[in-house]
Amino acid sequence: MRQEVRPLLILGAGGFAVSVADLVSEIGGYSVAGFVQSLSPEHRGAQIDGLPVYWIDDIAGLASTHLCVCAIGSPRRKALIERAAACGFRFATIIHPLARVSRRAELGEGTLASDATTIAALARVGRHVIMNRGALIGHHCEIGDYVTIGPGVNLGGRSQVGEEAVIGIGATIVDKVRIGPRALIGAGAVVVKDVPPDVRVLAPASIIIGQSEL
């Protein structure tokens, strides 16, 4: 039987949105129909890779035929998703063919699992979560809505990530650690104890010239 192909709008019009469009092109069942942005209404009618860029207030008429997925890796994602939902849109859950998702894991509406993502058994991933390329989600992890997980992040088993938290490229969260809502974990950080809500955990690099440290 021939697979139904659903038109898909990508919320966002930046570089990551282009990357998500490329990812979707490798998944059966969807066809990218355009991009949606909410920052510069004067850009309505522009194109990206030959596809139209819509202003968020102009898309309500497409809600009955199109699905959406959001490709914004910042806290602004939630507001744009809520505006699209208010227009009546439903959201696609996007799983790249090269992702490995346990049959015993749960993924929420609008969530994106990029290539080489691994989601282990009994992990529960909320709505509109972005898991970028190579992210590793351990067994029994619990990830709240609107979380952003960068490339190469490693979440140990039974760890918990609160709503709207951001975990940067290559960060490691050891087993059973809790990351509070809206916390930001910087690239390369190694987190070995619980992180409160609304804080930043960073792993700064030092520049070395010869034997002198700047």
- Going from N- to C-terminal start, the domains of the chain cover 6-91, 93-200
Q: What is the mean pLDDT of each run of 10 residues along the chain (214 residues)?
A: 85 95 93 93 86 94 97 89 96 97 98 98 98 98 98 98 97 97 95 96 69 42
**Site of tokens 């199109």:** 66
**Per-position DSSP letters for 118-154, written without gaps between them:** EE-TT-EE-TT-EE-TT-EE-TT-EE-TT-EE-TT-E
3-state class (DSSP) for residue 40: coil
Its pTM surpasses 0.85 = yes
Distance between CA atoms of residues 47 and 119, nearest Å: 35
- pLDDT for the residue numbered 10: 98
Distance between CA atoms of residues 214 and 208, nearest Å: 6
Looking at the chain, how many residues does it have? 214
Q: Of all helices (H) and strands (E), which one includes residue 21?
A: helix 15-24
- pLDDT for the residue numbered 209: 65
3-state class (DSSP) for residue 56: helix
Taking only the tens place, the pLDDT of each residue in 123-132 is 999 999 999 9
Options 3.40.50.12660, 1.10.600.10, 3.40.50.2300, 2.160.10.10; CATH of 93-200: 2.160.10.10
**Per-position DSSP letters for 74-118, written without gaps between them:** STHHHHHHHHHHHTT-EE--EE-TT-EE-TT-EE-TT-EE-TT-E
Taking only the tens place, the pLDDT of each residue in 12-55 is 999 999 999 999 999 989 999 999 998 887 777 899 999 999 99
Options 1.10.3720.10, 3.40.190.80, 3.40.50.20, 3.40.50.450; CATH of 6-91: 3.40.50.20
